[in-house]
Amino acid sequence: MFDTNACEERIGVTFKDKSILEQAFTHRSYLNENKDTGREHNERLEFLGDAVLELVITHFLYEKYPDKNEGELTAYRSALVKTETLSSVSESLGFNDFLLLSRGEAKDTGRARQYILANTFESVVGAIYLDQGYDTAKQFIYDHITNLIDAILKEGTWIDAKSRFQEKSQEVVGTTPSYRTVKEEGPDHDKHFTVGVFLGKEKVAEGSGKSKQDAEQAAAKAAMDAKGWEYDRL
């Protein structure tokens, strides 16, 4: 049973249309086991919320850092909207307590749950935008995402792993890394990729993600760790 009141309290928003909040937490897998509920899954809300999130964060960064170039701003934005960031925020908000999942998905608390939590955050943003409008959605994002930017910059987690690994590879061994997909799993709506990163014929590391780009970033980070290379900028 979905506890609407408790969920609204966690989010800090009272919805006019309660059903749209429940939809934001309804994973496709839940409907596969509960076909007669009349509910919709959250993928359309996720699609909308992703666009709202990107706009709000882009505008925030544009105004906060007037002296930064496009490449740096893009890297900052990527750090704010990456799976790890969004899933961590969702977890801190207690979204796990409200997810409507299949029995199988409910048992998985690993990387797959991270993706679900990140997608749910975007779905909630989409639901807030539809029900309450842009300003409320913006405030929700400011309360939970944009306020992380100072810590991200301090820790250096904004640095693009692929770019950094390429810089270090060219500097240390004179080779440009290449990436190859070694595994592709899951249905079309929930793909997972495993990518290997190579220096010449040597496979340095592998990484996984819900897109090839995410998997490549994970592989590059793993490769930096495998080589013992630091992330500070040249």
Residue 78, Cβ density class (10 Å: 0-12 exposed, 13-18 middle, ≥19 buried):
middle
Q: Distance (Å, rounded) from C-alpha 58 to C-alpha 76? A: 9
Q: What was the pLDDT predicted at 45? A: 97
What is the token pair recorded at 57? 């964060």
Whether 206 and 195 have beta carbons less than 8 Å apart is answered as: yes
**Which secondary structure element, helix H or strand E, spans residue 11, and what is its range?**
helix 4-11
Average pLDDT over residues 17-31: 94
Q: Residues marked as binding for Mg(2+)? A: 46, 119, 122
Full set of structural domains in the chain with CATH = 4-154 (1.10.1520.10), 161-227 (3.30.160.20)
Residue 173 has pLDDT above 70, yes or no: yes
**Which secondary structure element, helix H or strand E, spans residue 180, and what is its range?**
strand 178-185
Residue 101 has pLDDT above 80, yes or no: yes
Catalytic residue numbers? Answer: 50, 122
Residue 225 has pLDDT above 80, yes or no: yes
Q: Residues marked as binding? A: 46, 119, 122
Q: What was the pLDDT predicted at 154? A: 83
CA angle 220, 207, 189 (to 5 degrees): 125
Span 52-67, pLDDT tens digits? 999 999 999 999 999 9
- The residue with greater pLDDT, 123 or 212, is 123
Whether 140 and 66 have beta carbons less than 8 Å apart is answered as: no
Where residue 233 falls among pLDDT bands split at 50, 70, 90?
very low
The fraction of the chain above a pLDDT of 70, given in percent, is: 95
Average pLDDT over residues 83-111: 88
